[in-house]
Amino acid sequence: MQELFREYLQAHGYWVLFLGTFLEGEAILIFAGFLAFQGYLDVYLVMLSALVGSFLGDQFYFHLGRTKGAQLLRLFTAFSRKFGKALRLIERYGTFVAFVSRYTYGFRIVLPVILGMTTFPSRRFLFLNFLSALTWSVLFSLAGYLFGKTASLFIEDLHSYEPYLMLALAGIIACLWSSHFVAHRWRKRHARARLKRIKSRPHRPKMNHNHR
């Protein structure tokens, strides 16, 4: 069974990783890093696949925004709701946003699309996108690899406990995603409550300082 799993991963693992990182990819990349530690994949090929997938993915989203951005705004309401907030970020921190866009929860695909809709230079985005994809692929690959390395300090035969370790890793990733979701909901609720308090304050009449 283990040999079949190894053969399957060696035959299909890298292109599946490429597709996963083209779309989103943090979870699949962390799992790939762990499988590389276990010897099913090569960690350097994992990094390379993630680098190519994530780089080409964001280049695609950027040029999609440049050519079809207005149509996307009309078609997708969720995208249009994020447009204003993302645009304000880009106007203030354009270069920084281009670099960190793939690290942002909820804006991973939206930001490159909106960057493409602005006058942000294509060459600058290409350069920043490559640097961002490089750091991202290395960091998240190593996150999974180091998870396996840490587990090996406490468990002698990791292969016997692989299913449980994969479940534990999935649980950690799910907790991280949930914390982002909860934090987002809390900020949204807090902002609504603050707006409600502002609206409920009594308006004081303006004083007329004109003396007869």
pLDDT tens per residue, the chain (212 residues)?
A: 566 766 777 778 899 999 999 987 788 899 999 999 988 899 999 999 999 999 999 999 999 989 987 787 777 666 666 677 777 777 777 888 888 888 877 677 888 888 888 888 999 999 999 999 999 999 999 999 999 999 888 887 887 788 888 888 888 877 766 765 565 565 556 556 665 666 666 655 555 555 54
In a domain, 88, yes or no: yes
Number of domains observed in the structure of the chain: 1
In a domain, 181, yes or no: yes
| Cα distance between residue 50 and residue 77, in whole Å | 30
Give the CA angle between residues 171, 4, 160 to the nearest 5°: 50
Tokens of 180: 């982002």
In a domain, 23, yes or no: yes
In a domain, 31, yes or no: yes
In a domain, 76, yes or no: yes
| Cα distance between residue 145 and residue 35, in whole Å | 8
Domain containing 116 equals 2-153+176-198
In a domain, 120, yes or no: yes
Name the residue among 144, 187, 113, 195 with its Cα closest to residue 41: 144
Are the C-beta atoms of 73 and 83 separated by less than 8 Å? yes
Tokens of 175: 């907790």
